[in-house]
Amino acid sequence: MIPEKATISLPKMMRDLWEHRDLIRELIKRELNQRYRGSYLGLAWSVVNPLVMLLVYTFEFSLFLKVRWQVAGEQTPTQEFALIIFSGLIPFTVFSEVLNKSTTLIVSVPNYVKKVVFPLQIYPIVLFGAALLTSLVSVVLVLVGNMVLMHTISKTLYLLPLAYLPLIFLSLGLGWFFASLGVYVRDIAQGMPVVTQILLFMSTIFYPASAVPKSLKFIFDINPLTTIVDCFRQVLLWGKPLPWISWGIWTGITAILALAGYYWFMSTKKGFADII
């Protein structure tokens, strides 16, 4: 599996994706409709599922476990712990959904690969777009929960689109890479859920960064999800600005990763029809 030479640049990639914007939008709608096809509640499940999880976290951590989260050496109120966990899971859920589904994304549409001239490179974007829209429901629930439990709303909520930026680049870059690699190495689809489970506990979702032993701190420093999760909490709950230095570094790195993933996909997709 040797990639063919291809000339890919950021403007060319953006222009290519912009030309297919209408198709991307329609496929995202179809993806969301297919998820809930045949159910009585339909798209309402996109609200019910995260709402139930938020309620479970609230009762479990606030009423029974009575655990607290330390921020800058101070413990947060008990009822805020569930919101902290839930807000950290928002970006991770998007990321893990793209990774887990991308490995079988191309092999699941053999007709588009073999019989039709189709821009396969938009499929990871469709997958991410559906996950992104679903995550916005969870964002709204966090904001409502923050107002109900903490009687406040974040003053830096307007920075949320910037918090999403490195998540977008990271998810798309790896989505393109594994969507292509999954065609050639089918075992990846079996191992990816294990990888995402490891990443779940190797990211600061269930505990603050201050709880990480110094000997393991470097692992969390090189994990982009650490900064991404922190950014979401800062702008959704605590009304603080983004950690601009780490945000800027990881936005730049993940942007390069997105371009590299797109380059890999475009370089290898001509061999898909021979494998599938």
Phi, psi of 218 (to 5 degrees): -65, -30
Q: State the pTM of this model.
A: 0.88
Q: 51, exposed or middle or buried, with CB in 10 Å at 0-12, 13-18, 19+?
A: middle
d(CA 203, CA 227): 9
Residue 231, in any domain of the structure = yes
Q: Whose structure tokens read 């291809």? A: 6
Work out the pLDDT band at 3, boundaries 50, 70, 90.
Answer: very low
Q: What is the pLDDT of residues 30-82, one digit of tens each?
A: 888 887 776 666 666 667 777 777 777 666 666 665 566 666 556 666 677 88
Residue 224, φ and ψ in degrees, nearest 5? -60, -25
Is residue 242 predicted with pLDDT exceeding 50?
A: yes
Mean pLDDT of all residues in 1-21? 69
Residue 5 within any structural domain of the chain:
no
Question: Of 31-35, 94-98, 187-191, 268-272, which gets the smallest average pLDDT?
Answer: 31-35
Q: Tens of pLDDT along 163-197?
A: 999 999 999 999 999 999 999 998 899 999 999 99
Residue 267 domain-assigned (yes or no): yes
Assess if residue 1 is contained within a domain: no
Whether 219 is covered by a domain: the verdict is yes
Within-domain flag for 2: no
Lowest average pLDDT, out of 79-83, 151-155, 164-168, 251-255, goes to 79-83
The whole-number pLDDT of residue 63 equals: 61
* Residue-level pLDDT at 69: 67
Number of structural domains (the chain) is: 1
Q: Which domain holds residue 222?
A: 10-275
Tokens 């650490």 locate to: 226
d(CA 97, CA 67): 28
Asked, for residue 136, whether it belongs to a domain, the answer is yes
